[in-house]
Each structure stands twice: as structure tokens, then as C-alpha cells.
Structure 1
Amino acid sequence: MLIYGHRGARGEAPENTLASFASALQAGVTRVELDLHLSADHQLMVIHDPTLQRTTGIRGRVAAHTAEQLGRMDARLGLKGWPDPCPIPTLEQLFQTFPQFEHYQLEVKSGSKGQAGAVLEAITDLVGRYQLHDKVVITSASRDLLRHARNNQCPLPTGLVEEYGMLDPVKSALRYQCRFLALSWKLCTPARVAQAQSHGLHVSVWTVNEPSLMLKLRDMGVDSLITDVPHLAMTVLSARPSPAPQPAD
């Protein structure tokens, strides 16, 4: 089972900052999930919320500031007691700083009808410049964004992020021609995992921080888990190997 660091390593360093991604790498985790918003000048910024207050203490929206302005803001408030300033990075800075990463789940938060085309174009252009086509999947809970990607033949794979499950998440992912299904662990059952995988979907489960849940999902057969604590996940999953397959009768 693969491990993705959630917002880098959210439980170990300020989320979605270069320090957080460095912590994931230090744990031996080479796959990460992160969040994207567009700046006022259409740069891809690595930040979860549409507003700045929670992680920087500054009022206002991400989209109201340029990338240069956002890069001067300190985003370490997401983890109390962190000693060093942590600027909001651009996605390009992340690609440049950590070429060691093997795969990225790029979760688009600004997926409205008005923004879908612009953010998909910005991701496609940047991924093309860094030749990372086989190392990214664009994920989102926004049906508008996934519909736009499908209808405009986005060259990058996509994934549905599903938290509530009011509609069948597997059917929804297939409707938008997704390759990934990023499920809240609360929606994860053996039957749903098997259903998704039978249709060729990679099942990635979030946010998994408890050792017992890590092992339960591993034994359930999920393809990957997303965790705030990569060091713990690596320790737990390496300490107890996967059960050997049972021979057929």
C-alpha cells in the first residue's frame, strides 16, 4: 500500500509549506497530497483554505493577492509553536525544491465553473514544463472542474474527492472518467473498495492518522492512504507486514 503525506506532513510541520514537504521526505514518503488555489495573477499557490486567516493570521482571500504578495506571508499558524517562518509556496517552487517526489495528488479547491478552465490550464502548463505528466493526478470535489476536464479532454488524469457519499462515489468517479477515487475513510468499506478497483480506479483514503485504522485499510486492500503523520505511518506499516494471500481451495 502506498503512503501519501497529507498537505506534506500536516501533523509534523505547518501544512502545505516547504517545511511540511521536507518532513514527508525525511520519513521516506515520496508521494504527497496538497491543495491549490489561484492567486490574483493566476499562479498556483499551495494552500488549503480560500482565505488566509487560519494559517497566516491575515484577513482576506488568496485570490485577492498576487503570488509575490502571498510568498511574503508566513503560513506557520497551522501548527502552533513552529519556530521558523514558512512562506506560502507556489506549486512551481515545490516542483523545483523537491524533485525527489514520485507522485502528487493536486487537489483543486477553486473548482467553480468560472475558474475550472483557468486552473486546469495552469496545472497542465506547469506540469508540461517540468515533464511530470506521469507523476500527477488532479483531484477535486468539484463536479464542475471534473466535468470541464472530461469535456475538454484534459491530458492529465483526474480523481474525485468524496467526503459525504450522498451519491454513489464509484459511479460519480466513472461518470467523470476519473482514474482516482479519494475517499474519506468513513466511506471506505471492503465492498466499495472492490467495486472501485474492479472498474480500474485507484482508491486513496484520507485522512488516516490512527495506527489501527492504517492497518485495517491496508488489510481491506486500499491502494493508498493519505496521512498527516508520515513518520508514524511508515513505522506502523513497516512493523506489521501485509497478511500473506490465502491459497485457493
Structure 2
Amino acid sequence: MTLIYGHRGARGEAPENTLASFQHCLAQGVTRCELDLHLSADGELMVIHDPTLKRTTGQRGKVAEHSAAELERLDARAAGPAWPWPCPIPRLRSLFLHCPFEHWQLEVKSASPARAARTVDAIATLVAEFGLEDRVIVTSSSRSVLLALRRRAPQLARGLVAEHAWLDPLKVAARHDCRMLVLNWTLCSPARLLKAQRQGLHVSVWTVNEPALMRRLADCGVDSLITDFPGLASAILRDR
């Protein structure tokens, strides 16, 4: 059975990476999500895709230059879709408190070794506090992040995010003892999928928004789809 992960919550129907987006995902019966993390200036894990604020809030500056309290006062609706109420940038802690997902893909973007270490330590501490070790996988395309995960938080499952084919993603995933391969759907050929699954990898494919593509990838046997429209994907796969 192909599983469904809501991409940044339900990005196609609510402002991405906001509490409203994740609650919208859950309301449609999808209990797995993917999200992005950056550290605030005071070391809090904030749920936002970009390292800068402009695209989602319309404000200037970097996430890392602001405290968590300052970031929570910003409205993250600027990238759409339209939403009637303000949507602050949430802390990961707030989502763990208010969103009962059965599984979380936590993506960490590229970072220096020092920042990767701080981010991994913060994730490990928060996941342990909530007892979510078996319900979380930390994913990244960054060698620094994957190395920090292996060395500093080996108890957390790791996943490789692969967007380009210039490196063999299966070899990179094996090198870092990853359990999941998060593939851009354009890289998900039947041969690569089969080889990855034989290697013991869960193959999660993004971003899959078209019904025909959802059906085709599910028929190929991908383990999970990451989609901006989790309700639609659930209906499509349920009716196959």
C-alpha cells in the first residue's frame, strides 16, 4: 500500500508549514506529514522552508537572525493559497503538541557543520522529550546534516533527499545508513525504485500533485507519495 505524506502540511490548500496547513492535512484523514526546519537565533526549531522570510511572510531578513518569539509574530500567508486568518511561523514544539501525526518527515536544509550539529541536537532533544523516536525520520540532501545525524543522534532514522541525478542516490543513502530515499518524482524510474527497495530503503516520492501521476507511481510500487493535496491523493489511491 502506498502511504501519503502531506507536503508542508497541505500546501496546495493552506499556507505552507503553518499550523493551519497541518491541521487541514489531518482533517482530510492524512496522518503523515513532511515539513522543513530552520533554527531561530535563540536555537528554537522553526517550521519554514526558506532560510529567508521574504517569500512566505513578505518581510526581509533571515530566519536565523530572529528569535522564535519574533518569528511567531510574523504572518506566513504571503506565498498563498488564500487563507482568511493570520498564520504565524510555528515552532516544531507547537506542532508536536497540537498535531497528532503518526509519522513525521523532518527535512533539514544544507548547513555548515556547526549549524548542522546544533540543529540535530535540538531535534534529538525535542523528539526525546515527546517520545517520538519511532515516529520521526530526519531527512536532508546535506552531507553535513547526515554526518551530524550519524554521529550525534544515531537513534534517529535518517533519509536522503535526492533532487538531481549527478550522484548515485542509492550509493549516497547506503554511505549514510539511510532508511528512506526521498526522490524527486522525475528520478523515480522503475529500475531505481526496485533497486532501492531491494537495498531496504523506503522510497518516498515528491512532489506528486496530478491524479494520473499519483496512480502511475502507486502502480509502480512506491512506498509513499509527498503531495500538496493530501485529501485528493487519499481519494485517488482509495478508489484505485
Structure 1 and Structure 2 fold alike (TM over 0.5): yes
| Conserved? CA contact 1:196–1:203, under 8 Å | yes
Amino acid in structure 2 at the alignment position of 1:113: P
Do residues 17 (structure 1) and 15 (structure 2) align?
no
Amino acid in structure 1 at the alignment position of 2:40: S
SS at match of 1:16: coil
Do residues 50 (structure 1) and 51 (structure 2) align?
yes
* Aligned-pair CA distance for 1:110: 4.7
2:36 alignment counterpart: 35
What is the percent sequence identity of the aligned residues? 60
1:69 alignment counterpart: 70
Give distance in 2, aligned partners of 1:56 and 1:30.
Answer: 27
- Long gaps (5+) in structure 1: 241-249
Give distance in 1, aligned partners of 2:95 and 2:111.
Answer: 21
- Long gaps (5+) in structure 2: none
1:238 alignment counterpart: 238
Q: Which moved more, 1:38-47 or 1:190-199?
A: 190-199
Give distance in 2, aligned partners of 1:29 and 1:117.
Answer: 31
1:1-249, aligned counterparts within 5 Å?
1-98=2-99, 100-152=100-152, 154-240=154-240
What count of residue pairs does the alignment treat as equivalent?
Answer: 239
Normalising by structure 2, we get a TM-score of 0.97
Amino acid in structure 2 at the alignment position of 1:79: G
Give distance in 2, aligned partners of 1:41 and 1:109.
Answer: 18
SS at match of 2:14: coil
SS at match of 2:172: helix
| Conserved? CA contact 1:37–1:50, under 8 Å | yes
* Aligned-pair CA distance for 1:111: 2.8
Indicate the RMSD between aligned Cα atoms, in angstroms. 0.9
Q: Deviations over 1:28-53 (max 9, x none)?
A: 10000000000000100000000000
Normalising by structure 1, we get a TM-score of 0.94
Give distance in 1, aligned partners of 2:119 and 2:222.
Answer: 29
Amino acid in structure 2 at the alignment position of 1:123: I
- The structure with the larger Rg is 1
Q: Which runs of 4+ in 1 moved over 4 A?
A: none
SS at match of 1:36: strand
* Aligned-pair CA distance for 1:199: 1.1
Give distance in 2, aligned partners of 1:154 and 1:73.
Answer: 34
Amino acid in structure 2 at the alignment position of 1:81: A
Give distance in 2, aligned partners of 1:145 and 1:172.
Answer: 13
* Aligned-pair CA distance for 1:152: 3.9
* Aligned-pair CA distance for 1:154: 2.3
Q: Deviations over 1:14-68 (max 9, x none)?
A: 0000000011111110000000000000100000000000000000000000000
| Conserved? CA contact 1:182–1:205, under 8 Å | yes
Give distance in 1, aligned partners of 2:150 and 2:156.
Answer: 10
Give distance in 2, aligned partners of 1:59 and 1:190.
Answer: 43
* Aligned-pair CA distance for 1:81: 2.6
* Aligned-pair CA distance for 1:147: 1.8
